[in-house]
Amino acid sequence: MKRLAGLSALALIISSTSGCGWLWGEDGYFRDRGSDYLQATQTPPMQVPADVSGVKRLDPLLPIPRNVADSTQKEGEYTVPRPLPLGTTSESSDFSLQKSGDARWILAQRQPAEVWPVAHQYFEDNGFRIAEERPQTGEFSSSWQRLDELSASVAKRLSAAGVSADAETRVRVRIEPGVQRNTSEVYVVSVERPAGSTADVAFPTRTTNLGLDAALTDDLLASMGRNAEKGGSISLLAARDYDTPSRVALSEDGSGNPVLNLGADLDRAWSSVGRALDQGDWRVEDINRSLGLYYINLAEKAKTPENEPGFFGRLFGSKSSKEEIDARAERYQVRLSKVGDSVQVTVEKNINTVAPADIARRVLSVIQDNLG
């Protein structure tokens, strides 16, 4: 037993000092045989003796393929070549075309307030005269016009879509909030009538001029994409014109509670206050459109990329639990109420308790600054 243990120890020492060359090296028992085929030589095929008959033909089991280039690999360990990278292109855009049956619309990864000026600018630049616009509902429409009154590029597209030169066209654009937050859907509907006619053709509830509406939608989509590539300067500068109230005043009610008065209808005020709250240094946890309420938490930062923890923060830090968030929460609700021709914005602790005056004034002041 001792002899066996000694031999085992000796074998272990030899293998460790020799670097296992006798096992895994070039001359080892378990050597790499991956390049042995490079040393193979070609031999003539086996021939059946001439005096032997009645046997099957000897076909090669592993025939060598024809027209195979000679390998430049020399003797030695075979190295697997690195695969060539795939030529991939990744295209992403804030605007995409959606289809459902005959319906076509543009899905924008932006708020309606940012999409409105881009769409508005496209139709103005191409010669459409805006006859009516309602930012609070996200709609604007053009007046009756012939093709020769529009830009040459748009007139050519509409003519190819089947619009007669003797016809007049009118367009309505509707921008709606998308299913997901901070998205929008853009719909284009058109109507036609003979040139010189005074008929008041109403806009249909869904597309009827398939070719005309499709041509306008496609061209509008291309224009929005080009604008996004340039940085979206038009939408960023004009977004506030979409829902900014005509008058913003911070005052107090009869009980001395701070009140923010907005000169706008309820729909427009709801949109503008929501945009202002998103820019604040707090978290909007929930909304209730039917009650006109925004639920905010002053103790938590807004969910923005700037406030997200970095790599090491996620690696060594820990995410706060719901119990910890609830323990330090400072929750309030911002209420919008219609009063005459204006909207009043107030801050409450809950439905029965108003927020402290200093808290309410701080929140309303930030909203007022972000609406400016």
Provide Rg for the chain, Cα atoms. Answer: 38
> Using CA atoms, how far apart are residues 45 and 42, in angstroms rounded to an integer?
9
The residue length of the chain stands at 372
* pLDDT for the residue 76: 57
Do 279 and 335 have their domain in common? Answer: yes
* pLDDT for the residue 310: 54
* pLDDT for the residue 234: 47
Do 231 and 255 have their domain in common? Answer: no
* Prediction pTM value: 0.49
* pLDDT for the residue 88: 43
Do 234 and 279 have their domain in common? Answer: no
Last residue of a domain, one of 186, 215, 238: 238
Residue 362 lies inside a defined structural domain of this protein: yes
Contact 216, 174 (CB under 8 A): no
What is the β-pairing status of strands 293-297 and 331-339?
Answer: antiparallel
Secondary structure of residue 217 in the 3-state scheme: helix
Do 115 and 234 have their domain in common? Answer: yes
Is the dihedral angle over the CA atoms 249, 176, 109, 294 positive or is it negative? positive
Residue 298 lies inside a defined structural domain of this protein: yes
Residue 349 lies inside a defined structural domain of this protein: yes
Last residue of a domain, one of 179, 205, 238: 238
Phi and psi, residue 10, nearest 5°: -65, -40
Residue 86 lies inside a defined structural domain of this protein: no
Do 231 and 259 have their domain in common? Answer: no
Do 109 and 174 have their domain in common? Answer: yes
* pLDDT for the residue 77: 59
Contact 257, 360 (CB under 8 A): yes
Question: Which residues, 6+ apart, have CB-to-CB distance to 264 below 8 Å?
Answer: 136, 243, 245, 246, 272, 342, 343
Do 215 and 100 have their domain in common? Answer: yes
Secondary structure of residue 180 in the 3-state scheme: coil
Q: Consecutive sets of 10 residues in the chain, 372 residues long: mean pLDDT of each?
A: 62 59 67 75 77 72 66 59 56 80 88 85 92 83 92 89 87 85 86 88 84 91 83 50 71 89 82 83 87 90 59 59 82 92 91 91 90 70
CA-CA distances (angstroms) from residue 58 to 42, 49, 53, 61?
A: 17, 12, 13, 9
Domain that holds residue 143: 95-238
Read off the CATH number of the domain in which 149 is found.
3.30.310.170
Last residue of a domain, one of 220, 238, 256: 238
Residue 71 lies inside a defined structural domain of this protein: no
Residue 15 lies inside a defined structural domain of this protein: no
Do 160 and 233 have their domain in common? Answer: yes
Secondary structure of residue 93 in the 3-state scheme: coil
Do 187 and 141 have their domain in common? Answer: yes
* pLDDT for the residue 236: 44
What's the total number of domains in the chain?
2
